[in-house]
Amino acid sequence: MGPLRADLLKKELAIFTFKDLLHHFPLRHIDKTRVDPIRLARTTVDYIQVAGTLTHIQTLGEGRAKRMIATLRDHSDEIELVWFQGIHWIQKQLVPGKAYLVFGKPSIFNGKLQISHPELEEYIPAERPVRSHLEPIYPSTEKLKAKAMNGRQLGKFTRQLLDALKPPDLPENLPENLRQQYHFPGRFDAYQSIHFPASEAAYQQALERLKFEELFFTQVRLSLVRLERNRYSKGLVFAQVGELFNSFYKNHLPFSLTDAQKRVLKEIRHDMGKGSQMNRLLQGDVGSGKTMVALLTMLLAADNGYQACLMAPTEILAQQHFNSISGLLKDMPIQVELLTGSVKAAKRKPMLARLASGETQLLIGTHALLEDKVVFHRLGLAVIDEQHRFGVAQRARLWKKAAIPPHILVMTATPIPRTLAMTAYGDLDYSVIDELPPGRLPVQTVHRYDDARANVMDFIKAEIQKGRQAYIIFPLIEESEKLDLENLMRGYENVKAFFPEPKYWISMVHGRQTPDIKETNMQRFVAHDTQIMVATTVIEVGVNVPNATVMVIESAEKFGLSQLHQLRGRVGRGGEKSFCILLTGPQLNREARERLKTMVSTNDGFVIAEKDLALRGPGDIEGTRQSGDLALKLANLVTDRKWVEIAGQLAAQLVEKDPELKQPAHQSIRAFLLSQQGKLAWSRIS
């Protein structure tokens, strides 16, 4: 093509190379390989190609209403062909009595079959066979269309390219047995068929193969990175389960672990015992009991003579972790301390000294732990709670606190579908607690419009009457802190009008308060001095007040699904039945309605995560934004889950069996990886 068009392709579709063009896949195909009986147009077909004799032509109407109608008949039925434009020109080509091949989108108008503005050519079966391939339609843009490169015209370039390619140009990259097992066409054929398939079935097979290929190589790459890190980075060996772990497990564990907790602990123990650094993501829905897993893991570190730290994103949460963990360990010979930004210098100095001498074995805190002055004697494990608040760079600062990098366990309740996590966090190993402790009553969720607020407040009153507590959450709209605060204050006054002192007491917590005030207000609610907590989303992460049974979310339509789910997770933590009430204005767009419907219909964080993913797309899922490796063109992590999983398993098996990709059967994979430039460095296999 000429330089002007080439330039437009670069600018409009980022097509720079033959490979880019080859990977500009069709949106859909039109089928002109068959000539169908006209009668078939009465069924639900999108497009149809028919052949028949033109019986008559008439022109109707005047001016704008002017149209030409020709009637085409075959052995089965007849169909009207209608033109509103270019009538004069088309009329000249149509001769009644002659046969025509017609292609278009049929509809039924006044009970009659018709196609408006069909494609049409004279039909001489012997001379002009129908097409042997489906015709591709590509994504295009207005600017390209203006230069005669619409979705169909782009196919000419692809056709030319494919005609010029020979099988060695697109060498097979999947092992033979794998291709046979899944009935995948060869790679060269797959590229031919995804663009110009001989049939719908051929297209589907090509599509599946290329999707699989995409997912498989993404996962092989990630597995190799993980493997390389595991094999070549030194790590502390926590070989023994010792006295602390065992006696805690036997004598102080307040409940028996769920099967999921046990499984995850096993995974972690295996990981910390094999001599390379652990980098593990632990995902578990709100309330699934991640803290206990963290605690047991920290005891393992202590048993092996190392210190451990647990870092939380907020003071409130760090304080809570400290309270519950030091409570659980109070009869055990182990030193636990809390370090946050608000620990005063007088206390801090000796505390740091105890840490540096190794006297303190477990340190719980906020990002104050990262400061250079915080020096460990022998740090062996860092647990990071609610990872999305911590950046990668901050994590790296932890590594530097020990000669050999400590094991890292990152915990998150932000539900990410497993399929996505496997790909997005591919460089971390992944454990999931997919089971809640027994006996939890599911939170009942309802959606109410603003005009029902008085009823909602009465409901809260009834719960408070029974001795329970309630949260009322207001959204942050971010553009203006001042407006947010005003909004919250108005809400607070409003709540106060329903719940006057001294019968009722209200805590208010928001982001503009100093940590002291926040903490005090929080603690009053925890201690049940107040019955109602009015807050912005600062309480989103982690607070644990089992006596709270009502969560009211104001302007719930303004929250994302995962945030709503997190907020709801604050209730339903005790033995009492809990409720989540989503209040909204009367006007809701479709997506907001979908979100509310999802919240009302399920408590399952993973289902919600899937829905979130479907509504927003993977690019928006929290924590995955930096992950540029998710550049999938064909495969979809939601709808192609089956292939995501199969590809993940096969990639893991491959890398485990043949990490250097030396076996003859894997040469095609190796060659392909090496041919992919700029992806990742392949020092180990090259």
Note the residues at the interface with Mg ion (CB under 5 A). 542
**Contacting ligand ADP (CB under 6 A), which of 21, 113, 329, 413?**
413
255 binds, among ligand ADP, Mg ion, none (CB under 5 to 8 A by kind): ligand ADP
CA–CA separation, 280 and 427 (whole Å): 9
Is residue 547 a contact residue for ligand ADP (CB under 6 A)?
Answer: no
As a whole number of Å, the end-to-end CA separation of the chain is: 37
Is residue 257 a contact residue for ligand ADP (CB under 6 A)?
Answer: yes
CB nearer to ligand ADP: give 21 or 381. Answer: 381
CA–CA separation, 13 and 15 (whole Å): 5
Minimum Å distance from CB 411 to ligand ADP?
7
CB nearer to ligand ADP: give 223 or 258. Answer: 258
CB nearer to ligand ADP: give 291 or 431. Answer: 291
Is residue 292 a contact residue for ligand ADP (CB under 6 A)?
Answer: yes
CB nearer to ligand ADP: give 210 or 299. Answer: 299
437 binds, among ligand ADP, Mg ion, none (CB under 5 to 8 A by kind): ligand ADP
Is residue 255 a contact residue for ligand ADP (CB under 6 A)?
Answer: yes
**Contacting ligand ADP (CB under 6 A), which of 158, 193, 277, 291?**
291
Give the interface size with ligand ADP as a residue count (CB under 6 A): 16
Part in contact with ligand ADP (CB under 6 A); list of ranges 166-174, 285-293, 341-349, 492-500:
285-293
Q: What Å distances lie between residue 267 and 260, 293, 476, CA to CA? A: 11, 11, 39
CB nearer to ligand ADP: give 232 or 255. Answer: 255
Is residue 260 a contact residue for ligand ADP (CB under 6 A)?
Answer: no
CB nearer to Mg ion: give 52 or 542. Answer: 542
Part in contact with ligand ADP (CB under 6 A); list of ranges 210-218, 289-297, 398-406, 533-541:
289-297
**Contacting ligand ADP (CB under 6 A), which of 394, 544, 547, 636?**
544
Under the phi-then-psi rule, with left for phi > 0, alpha for psi from -120 to 50, and beta for the rest, what region is 61? left
Cis bond leading into 502, ω under 30°? yes
Minimum Å distance from CB 413 to Mg ion?
6
CB nearer to ligand ADP: give 50 or 300. Answer: 300
**549: its two tokens:** 């049974």
CB nearer to ligand ADP: give 257 or 464. Answer: 257
Is residue 437 a contact residue for ligand ADP (CB under 6 A)?
Answer: yes
Is residue 536 a contact residue for ligand ADP (CB under 6 A)?
Answer: no
Minimum Å distance from CB 542 to Mg ion?
5
472 binds, among Mg ion, ligand ADP, none (CB under 5 to 8 A by kind): none
**Contacting ligand ADP (CB under 6 A), which of 284, 415, 475, 618?**
284
CA–CA separation, 640 and 96 (whole Å): 51
321 binds, among ligand ADP, Mg ion, none (CB under 5 to 8 A by kind): none
Is residue 475 a contact residue for ligand ADP (CB under 6 A)?
Answer: no
CA–CA separation, 89 and 685 (whole Å): 65
CB nearer to ligand ADP: give 437 or 659. Answer: 437
Minimum Å distance from CB 290 to ligand ADP?
3
Nearest to 609 by CA among 370, 415, 375, 477: 415
Cβ-in-10-Å burial (0-12, 13-18, 19+) of 183 comes to: exposed
Part in contact with ligand ADP (CB under 6 A); list of ranges 134-142, 253-261, 331-339, 355-363:
253-261
Please give the single-letter amino acid code of residue 463: E
CA–CA separation, 682 and 670 (whole Å): 10
Q: Looking up tokens 């399929």, which residue turns up?
A: 419
User: What residues pair up with 584 in beta bridges, in sequence order?
Assistant: 449
Minimum Å distance from CB 566 to ligand ADP?
9
CA–CA separation, 477 and 488 (whole Å): 11
The number of CA neighbours under 13 Å toward the Cβ of 12 is: 22
Please give the single-letter amino acid code of residue 595: R
544 binds, among ligand ADP, Mg ion, none (CB under 5 to 8 A by kind): ligand ADP
Minimum Å distance from CB 474 to ligand ADP?
23
CA–CA separation, 280 and 264 (whole Å): 11
**559: its two tokens:** 């929250």
| Contact by Cβ (8 Å): 94, 53 | no
Give the nearest residue (CB) to ligand ADP: 289
531 binds, among ligand ADP, Mg ion, none (CB under 5 to 8 A by kind): none
Q: How many C-beta atoms lie closer than 10 Å to residue 358's C-beta?
A: 14
| Contact by Cβ (8 Å): 74, 54 | no
Is residue 574 a contact residue for ligand ADP (CB under 6 A)?
Answer: no
CA–CA separation, 89 and 91 (whole Å): 5
User: What residues pair up with 53 in beta bridges, in sequence order?
Assistant: 73, 99
Minimum Å distance from CB 147 to ligand ADP?
56
Minimum Å distance from CB 530 to ligand ADP?
21
Is residue 258 a contact residue for ligand ADP (CB under 6 A)?
Answer: yes
Q: What Å distances lie between residue 523 and 337, 565, 588, 594, CA to CA? A: 19, 23, 36, 36
**Contacting ligand ADP (CB under 6 A), which of 136, 287, 405, 648?**
287
**Contacting ligand ADP (CB under 6 A), which of 289, 417, 426, 623?**
289
Minimum Å distance from CB 292 to ligand ADP?
5
Q: Any residues with CB less than 8 A from the CB of 236 and at least 6 apart, and which?
A: 272, 277, 304, 306, 380, 404, 406, 407
Is residue 286 a contact residue for ligand ADP (CB under 6 A)?
Answer: yes
SS3 288: coil
624 binds, among ligand ADP, Mg ion, none (CB under 5 to 8 A by kind): none
Nearest to 605 by CA among 463, 409, 440: 440
Q: How many C-beta atoms lie closer than 10 Å to residue 647's C-beta?
A: 24
**Contacting ligand ADP (CB under 6 A), which of 261, 387, 530, 563?**
261
Nearest to 295 by CA among 364, 236, 377: 364
Give the nearest residue (CB) to Mg ion: 542
Q: Give Cα 131 distance to the centre of its chain.
A: 41
Minimum Å distance from CB 438 to ligand ADP?
7
Buried (b) or exposed (e) across 477-493, using 16+ Cβ within 10 A?
A: eeeeeeebbebbeebbe
Minimum Å distance from CB 211 to ligand ADP?
34
Buried (b) or exposed (e) across 90-129, using 16+ Cβ within 10 A?
A: beeebeeeeebbbbbebeeeeeebbbbebebeebeeeeee
Interface positions, 130-189, toward ligand ADP (CB under 6 A): none
Is residue 605 a contact residue for ligand ADP (CB under 6 A)?
Answer: no
What angle, 0 to 180 degrees and rounded to 10, lies between the N-to-C axes of helices 605-616 and 590-601? Answer: 170
288 binds, among ligand ADP, Mg ion, none (CB under 5 to 8 A by kind): ligand ADP
Minimum Å distance from CB 310 to ligand ADP?
11
Radius of gyration of the chain (CA): 33
By CB under 6 A, name the binding residues for ligand ADP. Answer: 255, 257-258, 261, 284, 286-292, 413, 437, 544, 573
